[in-house]
Structure 1
Amino acid sequence: MNATILSNFRMNCNPQKMELLKDLRALFYPRICANCSQQLIQNESIICTFCRHDLPLTHFQSYTKNKINAIFYGRVTIEKAFALLFLRKKGITKNLIHKLKYQGTEEIGIFFGNWIGEILSENEEFSTVDFILPVPIHAKKQKIRGYNQVTKFGKCLQRHLKTPFLENVLVRKSANTTQTFKSRFERFNDLDTKFSLLNFTIFKDKHVLIIDDVVTTGATLEACALELLKTSGIRISILTMAYTE
């Protein structure tokens, strides 16, 4: 049964037939966990319940005093910072980030965007944010990959925080190799990443939330922040899906 038949079937369905349609779709197009590849059941999204319970949450209860803020101390002033998960050498987080970045599983960004968005919207810690800004990837790399891995993540945050998500205002000028799985020393000493802000007035006296998938040494995020700080009165916060221990 192909997708056209299923679509026609849906148009003439009563509730009982709709349930049958769902069963047929699950049979022919099973949804599987992005981590363990087991089939997802009803109400599960992207990863199964077992894998979700195994995710290494940071439990960063303080948004102004945590390990991410400590990374930037003495380098660049950060208002608030948060990451949902720890990223370790092996484990679920690394597997999910790899699939998000290199295997086109952008739904993982949606999953984390909704999860973190709900957390932040409930406690209003980031309620003063005026704009959400993704760490950009170089145009050449985006053309090859086809997407920026944090775009759908940012669009979900936009919906939860009711804050504009802006792309193509900050651009990456250097097409360096990926840093996610470099060693901490390599990332800290990578000084080749350069960014350019195309509009120095839009963020004047505004609070900007920079988002990325992972923070390790903070070198990339620091480079973004330093370029943004050329804007008068700007305040900067950091939000990532994961933090490398």
Structure 2
Amino acid sequence: MLRTLWSDFLGLIYPRLCLACREPLVTGENHLCTCCRAELPYTDYHRLPADQNPLGRRFWGKLPIRHALSYLRFVRHGRVQHLLHELKYQGQRDVGTALGQLYGAELYTAGIAADFDLIIPVPLHPRKLAKRGYNQAAAFATGLAEGMKVPTVDSGLRRTANTKTQTKKNRVQRWENVASVFEVDDPTAIIGRRVLVVDDVLTTGATLEACGAALLAAGATEISIATIACA
């Protein structure tokens, strides 16, 4: 009773805020308010057969993948853009972890988690990692691992070059920017494994394609991809 009263008192002074809309959370809400949970633009791609998944079609003829998954649709100036901005530029790594937990639990309930042996996030270059302090894809991977009960390895891939931002590049330029910059740290941990490669946002898919190709070359038997959002 006293603990509840103290928590309520602290909530008045230091209210917990929704990660999407920044409105105060009420008792029973964690990370996202009920309104945002209801109104976020979910893709539900995990419910679609592979040949009807519009995300999977982006990789046809480029990379053989088992599952192409993305939790949310990116909508400019909407809640999802705000969440990603908080995650990447405001130091809110909890955004990635929380969304990973929610999506991971959904994938586990859908029976898809059983198709993965290992989760590997797209790595940042050490220089960029030192500047940001954390890898936003790894934060998402941590949440997914908790929700799906599948292990994650932050060091599965290594980025060998500090590439320029992909934001204003077209498909060809994005591929040229990342085509040969990923290496597998320990092939013995990859051989024979079904790997889920994780990133924050999918646009053209060039980065995930390059990561998947490196993992297949190292001996992974199957590649799937998952992101927080897709554009």
TM-score scaled by length of structure 1: 0.86
Aligned to 1:158: 145
Letter in 2 for 1:62: L
SS in 1 for 2:200: strand
Q: What secondary structure does 2:229 align onto?
A: strand
Query: Is residue 2:34 matched to residue 1:49?
Result: yes
Q: Deviations over 1:142-198 (max 9, x none)?
A: 00000001223212222232221101121111212333xx24x53542212211112
**Farther off after superposition, 228-237 or 115-124:** 228-237
Shift of 1:233: 5.2
- Matches of residues 1-245 of structure 1 in structure 2 within 5 Å? 15=1, 17-60=2-45, 61-62=47-48, 64-65=50-51, 66-179=53-166, 182-183=167-168, 186-190=170-174, 191-193=176-178, 194-232=181-219, 234-244=221-231
Other structure's SS at 1:211 match: strand
Q: Displacement of 1:217 after TM fit? A: 0.4
One-letter amino acid of the structure 2 residue matched with residue 58 of structure 1: T
- The answer (yes or no) to whether the contact 1:64–1:80 under 8 Å persists in 2 is yes
Relative to structure 1, is the Cα distance of residues 206 and 62 closer, same or farther in structure 2, using a 3 angstrom cutoff?
A: same
Higher helix share: 2
User: Is the contact made by 1:63 and 1:82 (CA closer than 8 Å) also made in structure 2?
Assistant: no
Q: After superposition, what is the alpha-carbon deviation per residue over 1:85-124, rounded to whole angstroms, capped at 9, x for unaligned?
A: 1002221111101110110111111221111111111121
83-92 vs 187-196, which deviates more?
A: 187-196
Structure 1 residue runs of 5 or longer lacking an equivalent are 1-14
CA distance in 2, matches of 1:53, 1:159: 22
Report how many residues are paired: 226
Larger radius of gyration: 1
CA contact (8 A) 2:117 2:151 kept: yes
* Structure 2 unaligned spans of 5+: none
| 3-state DSSP of counterpart to 2:40 | coil
Cα separation, 2, equivalents of 1:133 and 1:155: 10
* Percent identity over paired residues: 35
Question: RMSD of aligned C-alpha atoms?
Answer: 1.6
Distance in 2 between residues matched to 1:170 and 1:37, nearest whole Å: 34
TM-score (norm 2): 0.91
